């Protein structure tokens, strides 16, 4: 959903631009679409900062390093309103993911990128005036800053205005994930401007106070916030901070972030790839069939639902597709991300997503951060060894599962796993079997409402069946 | 009342709040952005930066010395080869 422009659009154009619903906090410009094209407007008030970004060589350096999203100039006639000084067309990110959907490693890499950019900016007398994790996206396999307007002139001897935001958006969630429980990353869903430091400090183990970086940037910081709360103007002018000390602060933050470690192991799904119950013949046949079925689909984007550590995502990637790999298990998704980073993959984006509770629309007016459905761009969905987890593990009736998939994509490769399969038998071992419709016939009937079956293939040496569907 | 001196940056902790003194601590420039920097965050940032500066500059000096030594050694190595 997009918001209509609230002011007079560029007088030279008839088409009405629509503001990106997340682009409203910073008065120095905005992001919008006109006739389907993405634009960024730089307002007159930010002309100096924008010129300095380019004349200082910082833009070229950051783009050259792959740290900042590139843009090209667009005619001023494409402006959103008359506050415009310049209009640019940024490169579009394939899929917008949010920090509460990132793995631990993704959030950590985004944090380190933010600090690297701040250091580079300081060298030319500029700074990141905000350090929102939402200004970072994963593009072509790497984190990249998408908001060039975040870079502004740094007043002499001024502290970093985005220090608080950095600690709330990055350091607090990363520390909670590393030192308490990785699942606490989902707190970023509720705390849209980062996790309050007093809350993080209260949840962290006492041992976190033994490390200088965490004791100072989180615990002491939380205390200082509490004691100075409401001071406002009465606290006087901000403290003076030399460039050398700012560098020391950034170095300290980098050390604190870099020192946070988490090993993705021990969960059921992180180990699943190695302990799967397929026979070698069945596993090989499934790979062959999925590759064949993928070859019969068209479109650029494949969503691998329940991707685990990404074996089948890479199969799609090898066929030249862009892949969004979703899995609810933080350890499996983290292992997937680390592998992709190691091989330098640019075509697969892993995200943590519980499909039984997918990301809702969040933020201001419920439109600032879009739901998974609002971001659906899948040409092909893969749901391999997933249906039984949703249908039996989460009691989702098969017709509801069918319509769920139909909201996300128009082609579907799906695997049906019958009750006689050892994994389903294990799921039913400690509960009443209330799933009377859960059978191959019931599956075909339920999915026929939304999908046309193109192909049905049994997997050799197993009772599993693969389907290729097209949405009706 | 505890008075801290960290690299020339003075701060007092009176049990409730950090306060600062020293004329050189305060800038008359407008440094705030469009987000709330937080007064507590600004104060603690200055203190942490002052504390972190000591080992930071020490490490930097050491690495400069090592870099200089390496530079001095390189021509000799080449000459030996």
Tens of pLDDT, residue by residue over A418-440, are: 999 999 999 999 989 999 999 99
Best residue of B18, B40, B46 to probe chain A, by most A CBs closer than 10 Å: B40
Structural domains of chain A ordered from first start: 3-90 (no CATH), 99-258 (1.10.510), 272-471 (3.40.50.150)
**If residue A38 lies in a helix (H) or strand (E), which one and from where to where?**
strand A37-43
Segments of A160-236 assigned E as strands: none
Please tell me the distance from the alpha carbon of residue A261 to that of residue A105, in angstroms, as a whole number: 9
pLDDT in tens, A161-207: 999 999 999 999 999 999 999 999 999 999 999 999 999 999 999 99
Is A239 in contact with B43 (Cβ distance < 8 A)?
yes
Residue-level pLDDT at A276: 67
Residues 6+ apart with CB under 8 A from B59: none
Neighbours of A45 (CB within 10 A): 12
Is B27 in contact with A217 (Cβ distance < 8 A)?
no
Whether pLDDT at B22 is above 60: no
- pTM for this model (two decimals): 0.89
Q: Domain extents for chain B?
A: 2-80
CA atoms within 13 A on the CB side of B36: 11
Please tell me the distance from the alpha carbon of residue A243 to that of residue A223, in angstroms, as a whole number: 25
Whether pLDDT at B27 is above 70: no
pLDDT in tens, A278-308: 889 999 999 999 999 999 999 999 999 999 9
C-alpha closest to that of A121 among A68, A47, A44 = A68
Per-residue confidence band for A274, with pLDDT thresholds at 50, 70 and 90: very low
More confident residue, A316 or A268: A316
Residue-level pLDDT at A3: 39
DSSP states of A58-127 as a string?
Answer: HHHHHHHTT-B--EEEE-GGG-SSTTEEEEEEEPPPSS---GGGS-HHHHHHHHHHHHHHHHHHHHTTEE
Here the tokens at position B10 are: 């003075």
Q: Which of A155, A158, A216 sits opposite B48 (nearest CB)?
A: A216
Which residues in chain A have Cβ-Cβ distances shorter than 8 Å to B38? 164, 225, 228
Q: Chain A residue closest to B35 (CA)?
A: A130
Strand partners, A414: A383, A467
Whether pLDDT at A310 is above 50: yes
Residue whose token pair is 């020293």? B22
Contacting A residues, span 108-137, partner chain B, CB-CB under 8 Å? 129-130
Residues 6+ apart with CB under 8 A from A426: none
Residue-level pLDDT at A236: 63
- Laid out side by side, the sheet with A322-327 consists of A348-352, A322-327, A301-305, A378-383, A409-416, A465-471, A451-458
Neighbours of A216 (CB within 10 A): 23
Please tell me the distance from the alpha carbon of residue A247 to that of residue A241, in angstroms, as a whole number: 10
pLDDT in tens, A230-259: 765 445 677 889 999 999 999 999 999 999
Strand partners, A348: A323
B32 phi/psi in degrees, rounded to 5: -75, 150
DSSP states of A341-361 as a string?
Answer: HHHT-SSEEEEE--TTS----
Contacting A residues, span 219-278, partner chain B, CB-CB under 8 Å? 220-221, 224-229, 231-232, 235-241, 244-249, 251-252
Residue-level pLDDT at B2: 42
Per-residue confidence band for B31, with pLDDT thresholds at 50, 70 and 90: low
Per-residue confidence band for B32, with pLDDT thresholds at 50, 70 and 90: confident
Strand partners, B18: B13
C-beta separation of A142 from A62 below 8 A: no
Which residues in chain B have Cβ-Cβ distances shorter than 8 Å to A231? 39-40
Label residue A433 exposed, middle or buried (CB < 10 Å: 0-12, 13-18, 19+).
exposed
Is A245 in contact with B57 (Cβ distance < 8 A)?
no
pLDDT in tens, A4-54: 444 444 445 678 999 999 999 999 999 999 999 999 999 999 999 999 999
Question: What percent of chain A shows pLDDT beyond 90?
Answer: 89
Whether pLDDT at B16 is above 90: no
Q: Which of A323-337, A357-371, B65-79 has the lowest mean pLDDT?
A: B65-79
Count of CB pairs separated by less than 8 Å, A with B: 140
């Amino acid at each position: 959903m997009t918001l209509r422009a609230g002011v007079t659009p560029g007088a030279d154009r008839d088409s009405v631009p629509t503001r990106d619903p997340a682009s409203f906090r910073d008065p120095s410009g905005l992001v919008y679409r006109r006739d389907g094209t993405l634009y960024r407007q730089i307002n007159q008030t930010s002309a100096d900062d924008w010129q300095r970004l380019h004349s200082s060589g910082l833009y070229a350096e950051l783009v050259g390093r792959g740290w900042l999203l590139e843009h090209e100039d667009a005619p001023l006639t494409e402006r959103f309103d008359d506050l415009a000084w310049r209009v640019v067309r940024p490169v579009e990110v394939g899929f917008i993911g949010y920090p509460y959907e990132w793995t631990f490693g993704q959030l950590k890499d985004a944090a380190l990128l933010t600090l690297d950019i701040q250091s580079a900016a300081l060298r030319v007398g500029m700074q990141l005036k905000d350090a929102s994790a939402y200004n970072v996206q994963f593009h072509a396999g790497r984190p990249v800053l998408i908001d060039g307007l975040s870079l502004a002139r740094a007043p002499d001897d001024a502290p970093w205005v985005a220090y608080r935001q950095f600690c709330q958006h990055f350091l607090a969630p990363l520390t909670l994930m590393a030192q308490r429980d990785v699942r606490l990353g989902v707190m970023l869903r509720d705390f849209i401007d980062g996790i309050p430091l007093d809350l993080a400090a209260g949840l962290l183990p006492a041992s976190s106070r033994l490390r200088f970086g965490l004791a100072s940037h989180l615990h002491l910081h939380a205390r200082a916030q509490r004691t100075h709360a409401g001071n406002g103007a009465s606290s006087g002018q901000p403290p003076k901070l030399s460039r050398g000390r700012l560098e020391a602060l950034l170095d300290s933050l980098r050390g604190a972030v870099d020192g946070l470690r988490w090993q993705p192991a021990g969960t059921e799904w992180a180990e699943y790839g190695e302990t799967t119950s397929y026979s070698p013949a069945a596993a090989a046949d499934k790979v062959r069939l999925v590759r064949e079925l993928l070859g019969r689909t068209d479109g650029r984007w494949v969503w691998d639902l329940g991707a685990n550590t990404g074996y089948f995502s890479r199969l799609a990637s090898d066929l030249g597709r862009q892949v969004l790999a979703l899995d609810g298990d933080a350890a499996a998704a983290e292992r997937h991300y680390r592998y992709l980073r190691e091989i330098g993959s640019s075509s697969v984006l892993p995200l943590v997503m519980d499909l039984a509770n997918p990301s809702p629309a969040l933020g201001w007016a419920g439109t600032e951060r879009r739901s998974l459905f609002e971001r659906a761009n899948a040409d092909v969905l893969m749901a391999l060894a997933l249906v039984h987890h949703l249908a039996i593990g989460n009691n989702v009736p098969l017709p509801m599962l069918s319509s769920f998939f139909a909201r996300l994509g128009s082609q579907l490769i799906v695997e049906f796993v019958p009750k006689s399969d050892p994994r389903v038998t294990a799921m039913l071992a400690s509960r009443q079997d209330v799933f009377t419709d859960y059978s191959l016939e019931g599956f075909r009937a339920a999915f026929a409402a939304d999908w046309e079956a193109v192909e049905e293939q049994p997997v050799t040496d197993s009772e599993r069946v693969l389907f290729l569907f097209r949405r009706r | 009342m505890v008075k801290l001196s960290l690299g020339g940056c003075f701060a007092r902790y009176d049990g409730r709040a950090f306060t600062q003194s020293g004329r050189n601590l305060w800038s008359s420039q407008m440094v705030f952005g469009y987000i709330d920097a937080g007064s507590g965050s600004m104060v603690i940032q200055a203190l942490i930066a002052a504390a972190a500066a000591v080992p930071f500059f020490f490490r930097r000096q050491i690495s400069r010395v090592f870099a200089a030594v390496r530079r001095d050694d390189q021509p000799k190595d080449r000459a030996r080869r």
